[in-house]
Structure formats: structure tokens, C-alpha cells
Homo-oligomer: A and B are copies of this chain.
Amino acid sequence: MVQNLIQHINGITPLTEEEEGIVAELVREKTLARKQFLHRAGEVAQYSAFVVEGCLRSYAVDRNGFEHILQFAPANWWISDMYSFVKNKPSELNVDALLETKVLLLSRSCQVSIFDRIPKLERYFRILTENALAASNHRTINYLSLPAKIRYEKFCTMYPTLINTIPQKSVASYIGITPEFLSKLRAEF
């Protein structure tokens, strides 16, 4: 389990064996059943989760009860409610499991305290956050400038694995359309 995370970190900022040991002590393993929540809207997000196996999602529920997915996290991705996690304030996102999922949990206080002991980890998270921001910007531009059909096609090429593992209505929620309309788009091949 922890080995997956260490490999991921080593791919960005190689650690010494001692540092690897410290990382292993910082995180806590957890298995989430399908539909089990990691974080609920209104609470303060205590943890950021590294997905070892399975898939999580974060999403908001609007005033009409519709869900809007912000992020999918398949294996080797981090997920949290960044706003809540960083500001230590309650926020609007839920995080739950789309499938049975194994995660490693890192609390914000652990994370922040480790940055002084292992600056490499501050670098690791700095780089991950830069990448996430670049990806988020790209998504925003897509959303502003492309019609639904092309957003769907791009989703398929971007997340080929997810297409076959998560329900189609989740894809619709992520790309910002209704499941009925996605069904219609797919019917046109």
C-alpha cells in the first residue's frame, strides 16, 4: 500500500530510505466501500487521500439536489477538498467512493509539519499542485469554448480507463450536461 505512494513520490522527488520511513509513518491506510464518504459538505476536510486502488470523486450538490463532479481520483491520484483542507474551513464538497477503494490518508497538520523536516515533500506537493492547477485551467477553457459533444470526446481520450469503470451519468456530471443529453450524444456515435 504505502509502497505505491513512495514510488509516486520517488518519481518526482527521490527520497532517502530514512525519508521513506517517515512518510510511511505519516499516512494511515483505509478501505472505503462503494458509496462510502471520505468527506461531507459542511465539515472541515481533515485529510487528503492518495488512491492506491479504486476510484474516488469529489462533487457539489446544488440547490436543486443535482450533483456536479469536480474531480475523479483513480489510482495514484490525490484528492481532497482543497479549499477546506488548506483554509481549515467547512466547504461545499463531498468526497466519496465510486468503487471499493483503498486509500492512504494524510492530515493537513501532518502534511504541514513534515514540510520543515523534509523539504522535498514540500516540493512534491508544490509540483502536484502546479500540475493540478494547469489541468484545472485547461478544463475551464474547454468548458468555456467547446460544445458538449467535443467535451465528451476529449473526456474519453483523456480518461480512457474511467469510461469503462464509472457510470455514464458521472461522466455527464463532470462535463456539465444531463445524463439524458449524454445518452442522446452517444446515440449519434
- A interface, size bucket: 35 or more
* A86 located at the interface, meaning its Cβ lies under 8 Å from any Cβ of chain B in the complex: yes
The SS class assigned to the A binding surface is: helix
Number of copies of chain A assembled together: 2
A/B interface sample: 28 pairs, CB < 8 A: A60-B141, A60-B144, A62-B145, A62-B146, A66-B145, A68-B144, A70-B137, A70-B140, A71-B137, A82-B133, A82-B137, A83-B134, A83-B137, A83-B138, A86-B134, A87-B134, A93-B137, A93-B141, A119-B122, A122-B123, A122-B126, A126-B126, A126-B129, A133-B133, A136-B137, A136-B140, A143-B176, A144-B173
Which residues of A does B touch, CB under 8 Å? 60, 62, 66, 68, 70-71, 82-83, 86-87, 92-93, 115, 119, 122-123, 125-126, 129-134, 136-141, 143-146, 173, 176
